[in-house]
Homo-oligomer: A and B are copies of this chain.
Amino acid sequence: MALEHAILVSLLEKPGSGYELARRFERSIGYFWTATHQQIYRVLKRMEADGRLDVREVPQQGRPDKKEYSVAAPGRAALSQWLHEPIEPESVRHDLAVKIRGAAFDDPAALIREVERHHRAHSDRLAHYLAGELRDFTGPEAPGTSGTPGPPDAGQELQHVVLRGGIAYERMTLAWLDDVLATLHRLGAGH
């Protein structure tokens, strides 16, 4: 039930409508959680009914009105409680790996195109993350930076470390996909 918590975090960072949340889930929050608008609207309703969120109808000109959600005190409490509970380390779900092992019973070479597609997709994601890092965090720490003006705020630092995780994940994945491609080519050539 971490979607609730992801929504609480996002709304604490900035209140917004269901639509806006859906867009955030396509961008920054998408580094670590995904959700579609259908899911989000349903959960927002439930959370509002439970008193964890406040809503405010915002009339707009030229656009449909929207409902702006923000975190109410019980929502903040719920998040805080969850933060203090231990959670299980993630288990992975990786379809592509199933395919790779399955290729032993089919034509391994036929997978090359697919793996190349994934490589391109992850490459794009990495570029997108790096652009975001440059935009929001003034790039990777230059070692020779003189006198940064005091400690940066905790929220920024924490967002940045999560983004660095996304970047590390994409880089690792790209390197692994290179390894997979080399293996598939070797199997094709050795045959």
Contacts and interface: CB of A to CB of B under 8 A. Distances in A.
Interface of A: 2, 5-6, 8-9, 12-13, 30-34, 76, 79-80, 82-84, 86-87, 89-106, 108, 110-111, 114, 117-118, 121-122, 151, 154-155, 157-162, 164-166, 168-169, 171-172, 175-176, 179-180, 183, 186-187, 190-191
Contacts of A98: 2, 5-6, 9, 32-33
B101 A83 contact: no
B76 A105 contact: yes
A89 B108 contact: no
B168 A122 contact: no
11 contacts: A5-B98, A12-B102, A12-B105, A31-B92, A33-B93, A89-B117, A104-B155, A157-B183, A165-B176, A169-B176, A172-B172
Contacts of A110: 83-84
Contacts of A6: 98
B157 A91 contact: no
A154 B187 contact: yes
Q: Which of A104, A122, A187 has the most CB of B within 10 A?
A: A104
A89 B9 CA distance: 26
Nearest to A5: B98
Contact of A93 (B9, B32, B162, B164): B32
A127 to B, nearest CB: 14
Contacts of A105: 9, 12, 76, 79-80
Given A121-B89, A183-B158, A97 B165 contact: yes
Nearest to A92: B32
Contacts of A158: 100-101, 103-104, 108, 183, 187
B154 A104 contact: yes
Nearest to A171: B172
